[in-house]
């Protein structure tokens, strides 16, 4: 169990992020067209898992924009923005914010991703959705960088995450 804060109030997660050097847990999340997406769908690419509570907040929106602008054009790299939002809301968000080519994935059918990655909030006002985190995977799905953002309202360290892609 890890602890983050929301406006300074401690919030516990259900576990810990996967350790650097380990194989990332597989997942099944929902795409905008309501089909399933698994980790294997992105094999052979570097992956930035931009994990946010909801795209319907300014910080989450900015992290989606930042990662897509800064890493979305890198060769063999995909940015996956993962939230509890419905796929329809994720698509509407991308259209409204002008974020082209974003890959958004929803936990709408299952919260197992949050359990497997250790970032599901176990208590507090947002219990049941993910804390803010970044997990970077190499082309073989090995974890090369993780960050559980200490204060849910803060942005992740974009530079550290992007440096892990090199």
Catalytic residues: 60
Q: Phi/psi at 158 (nearest 5 deg)?
A: -60, -45
Pairing of strands 77-83, 103-106: parallel
């Amino acid at each position: 169990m890890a602890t983050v804060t929301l406006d300074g109030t401690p919030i516990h997660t259900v576990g810990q992020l996967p350790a650097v050097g380990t194989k990332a847990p597989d997942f099944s999340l929902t795409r905008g067209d309501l089909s399933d997406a698994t980790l294997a769908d992105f094999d052979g690419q570097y992956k930035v898992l931009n994990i946010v509570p909801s795209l319907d907040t300014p910080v989450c929106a900015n992290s989606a924009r930042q990662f897509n602008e800064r890493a979305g054009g890198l060769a063999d790299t995909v940015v996956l923005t993962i939230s509890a939002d419905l796929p329809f809301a994720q698509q509407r968000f991308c259209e409204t914010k002008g974020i082209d080519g974003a890959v958004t994935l929803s936990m709408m059918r299952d919260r197992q991703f949050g359990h497997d990655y250790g970032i599901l909030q176990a208590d507090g006002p947002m219990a049941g959705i993910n804390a803010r985190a970044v997990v970077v995977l190499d082309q073989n799905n090995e974890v090369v960088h993780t960050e559980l953002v200490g204060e849910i309202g803060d942005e992740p360290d974009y530079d550290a995450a992007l440096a892990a892609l090199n």
